[in-house]
Amino acid sequence: MAKERKWSNLRGVLPEVEEELSDREQAIRKEVGERLAGVNEKGEPRAAKTMRELAQEYLGIKSESEFFEAEQRARDIKKEALERLVQDELKKVEEMSGQDTWRGEGILFSPKTSVIPVVKDRAALMKYLEDTKQTALLTLEYPRLKSLVVGKLEELVAMTPAERSEQTATLQNPIPGVEILLKRGVRPTET
């Protein structure tokens, strides 16, 4: 018998996430369908894979993506270094010619300035937003909302089945204005 997983007892009580049929979702469904049909990319028949084969393939793809992520990080570092060198060269160009841009090799370099806000006094910011009637800008970040929902669900799941049946409405809507959906997935763990 399969092990009971956290939140699995809520299936049927809470609705499940309905995936949009985006291009990505269609591609995933196509891949699943081809694997279930036992057909490879070329349309040739293939044998169904065992869990061991699926796990090996998954780990191979995971290794590939880790490799590409490491490559991307290296490219980002190189790009940042090049941007700093270009900034230095733009300063020299400006000192010599009075121009703060450089054009050549099919590219235009010009200086850019970004604004990065950092909240030092949250209470003062909150007061400012309330005073200027901008409280609609106050939002609850997703990780905090999720922890509130999970905490409330853990309280409800800890109840006995009889107590929980009396709380079905609360279970479906433990925090007013927040809809809760379940999404099934797999948690891979390397051993």
Domain-by-domain residue ranges, the chain? 26-40+47-114, 118-181
Q: Scanning the structure block, which residue is given the tokens 């995933």?
A: 28
Higher pLDDT, 24 or 92: 92
Mean pLDDT of the chain: 80
pLDDT band at 75 (very low <50, low <70, confident <90, very high): very high
Query: Measured between alpha carbons, how far is 56 from 188 in angstroms, rounded to an integer?
Result: 12
CA nearest 183: which of 32, 33, 11, 4?
A: 11
Whether the per-residue pLDDT at 116 is higher than 80: the answer is no
Q: What average pLDDT does this structure show over 36-52?
A: 71
> Beta strands of the chain (E only): which ranges?
102-104, 107-109
Query: Which of the residue ranges 7-11, 21-25, 28-32, 118-122 would you say has the lowest mean pLDDT?
Result: 7-11
Which DSSP symbol is given to 9?
G
Query: Measured between alpha carbons, how far is 17 from 6 in angstroms, rounded to an integer?
Result: 17
In this structure, what token pair is assigned to residue 140? 């609850």
pLDDT in tens, 149-166: 888 888 877 777 777 777
pLDDT band at 16 (very low <50, low <70, confident <90, very high): confident
In this structure, what token pair is assigned to residue 127? 């007061």
* pLDDT at position 1: 47
* pLDDT at position 77: 92
Amino acid in the structure at residue 141: E
Report field, pTM of the whole predicted structure over 0.75? no
